Amino acid sequence: MDKATRNAIERATQQARKLLDEDFSSQLEGTFDVLRSGVIASKGGVHLSAHQQFQRDKIVATIEHKRAAGTTPVEAVTDYVRDAAFTTLNRFVALKMLEGRQLVQECITKGERSAGYREFCGMAPGVALLPDAAGYRLYVESLFDEFSTEIKVLFDRRDAASVLWPKRQTFEGLLTILNAPNLSGVWGEDETIGWVYQFFNSGEERKKMRDESQAPRNSRELAVRNQFFTPRYVVQFLVDNTLGRLWLEMHGEQTRLTKLCEYLVRSVDDPAQPRLRKDPRDLRILDPACGSGHFLLYSFDLLLAIYEEAWSGEEFAPRSEATGRSLREDYPDLADLRRAVPKLVVEHNLHGVDIDPRCAQIAVLALWLRAQRAWKDVGIVASDRPRIQCTHIVVAEPMPGDVVMVDEFAARLDPPLLRDLFKKMVGESRLVGELGTLLRVEDGIAAELHRAREQFVKQRQTSGFLPGMEPVVKQGSLDLSGIDDDHFFHEAEARIVDALRAFAETATGSVSVRRKLFAGDAAQGVALIDLVRTLFDVILMNPPFGACSLSTKKEFEKSYPRTKNDVYAAFVERGIELLHSHGLLGAITSRTGFFLSSFQKWREEILLKEAPPVVFADLGYGVLDSAMVEVAAYCLEKGREVAA
């Protein structure tokens, strides 16, 4: 995407944000008595209808939830407005992209004259007569509901960020911005949503943050300061030399990937060392600072070819850990495989983490759109496409800060031994919102997890009883005797997530909102712990660089004594930890680590000893758009032996 097009997206994004920010702030103050100063009236005014009072309760509960996490009153209200504006903009951008891919009938491009709305009115003629464009809003919200079945993180109207709807003038202004002729060519491009994400925060906002503090002061500043789009050629270079190289070493020079991976570097004098083959479903790829998911999207492209090649080469086909069968045993026909693969890639192979909750909206949408394109390319119509049930995009945010609600929920857990385990998870996750995967939360809960498993096995122990006198295991109880900590964690995780779902659903009013927010945060926290207990075959990253946030400095320096001088070096160290033996890590970072004396331990003790470089490209300035940093792109192999 050229500079002129990116500039057009930036202008449009900033204009749309300004419109929505001003409108939503006005609605909060004028209708709901919630001021930008952080002052909130003790109760809503008498002018509120019953529905508006319900909306107000939801808004206030959400702001209080943010306060419980440690933000100031002003920050909590500002954050709510920003979330609402970003979610609204993302939804309409998503609809434009869906239109561009013919995944939805024309709905936004011509506003109330769109073909989809005219058809909607034809089925329900009274809709067009509703005042103040309420009929068109009803139509658009019905689209949100339809797509929320698969992209819930973006389109779920129960989300607290969905309470506010733009006033008619704002709404029409937003459509005018998105339907501008100079943007007509961007809606079919996969990377458009990523540029919208980056440009939502202006360069002036980043400059102001840096002027006020040399180091990030919180997780949002850390995220915003490091929002730099990774160019496509860098993405290809890193994925080709990690995932592509991995598959080449499994299948030799005859693999199709030698032609697909145009940036794959191969040595004539040092041929690739063969490695044990894996079923494609067992390949795990992680981006620990995923942003809008560019590394995952290109990995998706290669995985489509990998699955078909694995299916075709049945002679030495390994069996999957997931099913115990080979790919062809599970999918006898190529048509069956092609129908299944996009869903398999999203649900089995691709994992992403970010400290910015907005990334989850963007990355999930991007992967879903890529899956739809894959199905379209092989002629599978929308009605025959399987639903994608889950993604592995995780928001690294702290477990809930509401101590009273933590205790209330923990008291409901069954069996009771899960209570201490859950509280330990909450305690160990307190800094995860700013450190993300750098926080070794799995180490913090290891002892408690082991203790809980032993306690449970002891409770279920039936030896030593006379025949017929053994304790009866109740139906639905966990039977975990003889299993290890990993299996126990997965069973415990399932119980906790089920309990969170029930906890969120058994309340009404503002209590229900707070419980749902609590359950959402806790479920993300549990998912992150599960993810960092996993080892990966490939890790790809464009990590943050510079200082860590001020509030995590002590913990960060204690955890990463060899790499504490820059966050990116710690990300590489942590990434190596999360790899299988001989797994591959690809990163684009500042090039300073390869020559400054302050990075000597990183070079000598981590790179050379633990994961020597496989390929290195010194790229210099001007790679990461507006970032004033010289960069290098490189790939490392964990445990690689280097000739003396």
Which pTM does this prediction carry?
Answer: 0.88
pLDDT over 70 for what percent of the chain? 92
Instruction: Write down the pLDDT at residue 417.
Output: 77
- Among the residue ranges 248-252, 265-269, 294-298, the one predicted with the least confidence is 265-269
pLDDT tens string 612-631: 999 999 998 887 776 678 89
Contact between 368 and 103 (Cβ < 8 Å): no
Instruction: Write down the pLDDT at residue 149.
Output: 86
For residue 222, pLDDT over 90 is answered with no
Instruction: Write down the pLDDT at residue 501.
Output: 84
Give the phi and the psi of residue 547 in degrees, each rounded to 5.
-80, 155
Average pLDDT across the chain, whole number? 87
Averaged pLDDT, 520-540: 91
For residue 108, pLDDT over 70 is answered with yes
Q: H or E stretch including 23?
A: helix 3-30
Domain with CATH 3.40.50.150 in the chain: 232-396+533-637
Instruction: Write down the pLDDT at residue 611.
Output: 96
- Among the residue ranges 105-119, 578-592, 612-626, the one predicted with the least confidence is 612-626
Instruction: Write down the pLDDT at residue 466.
Output: 52
pLDDT level of residue 484 (50, 70, 90 thresholds): low
pLDDT tens string 316-357: 789 999 899 999 999 999 999 999 999 999 999 999 999 888
Range ranked top by mean pLDDT from 45-54, 268-277, 455-464, 484-493? 45-54
pLDDT tens string 491-503: 888 888 888 888 8
Instruction: Write down the pLDDT at residue 491.
Output: 80
Instruction: Write down the pLDDT at residue 632.
Output: 95
Tokens describing residue 216: 């990030």
Instruction: Write down the pLDDT at residue 459.
Output: 66
For residue 579, pLDDT over 90 is answered with yes
pLDDT level of residue 461 (50, 70, 90 thresholds): low
DSSP assignment of 48-88, as one string? Answer: --HHHHHHHHHHHHHHHHHHHTT--HHHHHHHHHHHHHHHH
- Among the residue ranges 133-142, 522-531, 599-608, the one predicted with the least confidence is 522-531
Q: Distance between CA 263 and CA 241 in Å, rounded?
A: 7
CB count in 10 Å sphere of residue 643: 4
Query: For 345-440, where are the alpha helices, taking DSSP H only?
Result: 357-377, 403-410, 417-428, 432-435
pLDDT tens string 358-405: 888 889 999 999 999 999 999 999 889 999 988 999 988 877 667 888
Whether domain 232-396+533-637 has CATH 3.40.50.150: yes
Q: Distance between CA 447 and CA 425 in Å, rounded?
A: 11
How far is residue 69 CA from its own chain's centroid?
20
For strand 631-637 and strand 579-590, is the pairing parallel, antiparallel, or unpaired? Answer: antiparallel
Whats the size of the chain, residue-wise?
A: 644
What is the residue whose two structure tokens read 């206030």?
60
Instruction: Write down the pLDDT at residue 468.
Output: 52
pLDDT over 90 for what percent of the chain? 55
What is the residue whose two structure tokens read 């694995």?
310
For residue 216, pLDDT over 90 is answered with no
Averaged pLDDT, 188-211: 81
For residue 98, pLDDT over 90 is answered with yes
pLDDT level of residue 313 (50, 70, 90 thresholds): confident
- Among the residue ranges 132-146, 195-209, 516-530, the one predicted with the least confidence is 195-209
Coil, strand, or helix at residue 585?
strand
Instruction: Write down the pLDDT at residue 560.
Output: 94
For residue 482, pLDDT over 60 is answered with no
